[in-house]
Amino acid sequence: MLFHTVHLQHLKDNSKENFLFCIDILLKLLLVCWKDVDHWMWPLFTENWGSWRNDDLHLSPCPFTDPVTGIPTWYDRPQSPLVMYGFSKEVVECPAYWPSRVRVCGFWFLPIEWQFSCTKCRETLLYDSSGHQYEKDNLCPRHLELQNFVKDTPIFIGLSAIGSMGFLKDPHSFIGVLQAVLSTTNYKFILFTGGYEPLESVVRTIATEATLDQNSWSEDCLSLYNGRLFCFFSSIPYGWLFPNCAAVIHHGGSGTIAAALQAGTPQVVCPFVLDQFYWAERMHWLGVSPEPLGRNHLLPDKNDNRSIQEAAHVLSLAIHVALSSRVKTRAAEIAEKIFLEDGVSDAIKYLKEELSLN
């Protein structure tokens, strides 16, 4: 209130100076970033914060507890809302201290035919009564090319939106790592570019420099390095693709994690931000992937031969672990358990129960 009083008086005395003052404040606010938030946010979770609540404000050190007894004041709190999680209990631990209104449904998988962006493929993808997939011969050409490539059970690699988020600064070094792995192994890769134009541009440039017959290129795909790196510029459901892959190398997004678990395909996870680190550690703990990669093991900071070879060596070792019988067996075990779940049906059941209560 004192600030506002002084501010109003200042406005009356000299409106021009006040205007400049306000502009200066606004400009400073625009410069506020995560570092500023981080400066004051984390102390809220320390013991010093609890002491200040107790000594100066005469409140309990811990919110929602009685200041004298320290017992949680459950009687003074409204009923918690229904919270539904779309993941499997086989994957995420669900401790007993979670609120009673938490419901873990299982993963929310859409029918595979709903996930195709291509109308023709969506209409021709059919399932028999036992859930096994069969296809007609008239799928669209770009998916037929991909379908032919997966007959050799290649390794998928895709980073989704990591490029557009600014992490894929040097696509040349990324492709260099893949090329180095190919040169020392007999693997084949399917690279999904995730719609990241700088990466797609580098791929097309490499193809041009290799004097490939550009007439054989498709708008959505091309092959490099004697047909061992299939670069796909469009999209296709992971639920269709991953069962046909030997392993999945990815960034640790929850959707990609779920699709790989459902397919029973071993993973190699390279997290970059937010919950990706949790999922990467969790996959390793479950035994369906090796230890998480550091981002420099997939995206080297430098585009020199030493950096690329070191990254390729680490990536090759990770793939070797992922393709071991131990990891394959564990991935298949998790997939069998997830197959028995129906996350969508459980979510609908919980919603109906909630609506009937209200």
The HSE-up count of residue 65 (CA atoms within 13 Å, CB side) is 12
Of 141, 110, 140, whose CA–CA distance to 123 is shortest? 140
pLDDT band at 232 (very low <50, low <70, confident <90, very high): confident
Run of H or E residues at 52: helix 47-55
Tokens of 96: 């007993």
Share of the chain above pLDDT 70, in %: 78
pLDDT in tens, 194-229: 888 888 888 888 888 776 544 456 677 788 888 899
- Using CA atoms, how far residue 287 sits from 159, 230, 252, 265, 290, in Å, is 21, 28, 15, 12, 7
Give me the pLDDT at residue 71, please. 79
- pLDDT of residue 10 exceeding 90: no
DSSP character for 72?
Answer: B
Q: Is 63 left (phi over 0), alpha (psi -120 to 50) or beta?
A: beta
Run of H or E residues at 155: strand 155-158
Question: What is the C-alpha to C-alpha distance for residues 237 and 110, in angstroms, rounded to an integer?
Answer: 10
Find the mean pLDDT for residues 18-22.
69
Asked if 239 and 109 count as a contact pair (C-beta separation under 8 A), the reply is yes
pLDDT band at 233 (very low <50, low <70, confident <90, very high): confident
**What does 163-200 look like in DSSP terms, one character per residue?**
TTTT----HHHHHHHHHHHHHHS---EEEE-TT-HHHH
pLDDT band at 128 (very low <50, low <70, confident <90, very high): very low
Query: Which residue is it, tokens 């498709």?
Result: 218
Of 239, 224, 244, whose CA–CA distance to 339 is shortest? 239
Bridge-based pairing state of the strands 247-250 and 267-269:
parallel
- pLDDT of residue 3 exceeding 50: no
Of 334, 241, 249, whose CA–CA distance to 285 is shortest? 334
Run of H or E residues at 125: strand 125-127
Asked if 187 and 319 count as a contact pair (C-beta separation under 8 A), the reply is yes
Question: What is the C-alpha to C-alpha distance for residues 297 and 308, in angstroms, rounded to an integer?
Answer: 8
Find the mean pLDDT for residues 185-192.
92
pLDDT band at 358 (very low <50, low <70, confident <90, very high): low
Vertex 207, ends 205 and 210: CA angle to 5°? 110
Least confident of 71-85, 157-171, 182-196, 259-273: 71-85
**Per mean pLDDT, which of 9-18, 167-176, 323-332 is the most reliable?**
323-332
Question: What is the C-alpha to C-alpha distance for residues 297 and 40, in angstroms, rounded to an integer?
Answer: 34
What's the pTM?
Answer: 0.73
- pLDDT of residue 23 exceeding 80: no
| Sign, CA torsion 135/138/141/145 | positive
pLDDT band at 87 (very low <50, low <70, confident <90, very high): very high
Give me the pLDDT at residue 77, please. 62
Question: What is the C-alpha to C-alpha distance for residues 187 and 65, in angstroms, rounded to an integer?
Answer: 58
Map out the domains of the chain as residue ranges. 81-90+101-107+348-358, 153-339
153-339: CATH class: alpha beta
Q: Show the beta-strand stretches assigned E in 87-179.
A: 102-104, 125-127, 133-135, 155-158
- pLDDT of residue 1 exceeding 60: no
Find the mean pLDDT for residues 230-249.
89
Tokens of 204: 């097309």
Give me the pLDDT at residue 126, please. 55
Of 253, 244, 235, 266, whose CA–CA distance to 121 is shortest? 235
Of 154, 236, 228, whose CA–CA distance to 194 is shortest? 236
Tokens of 162: 């990591």
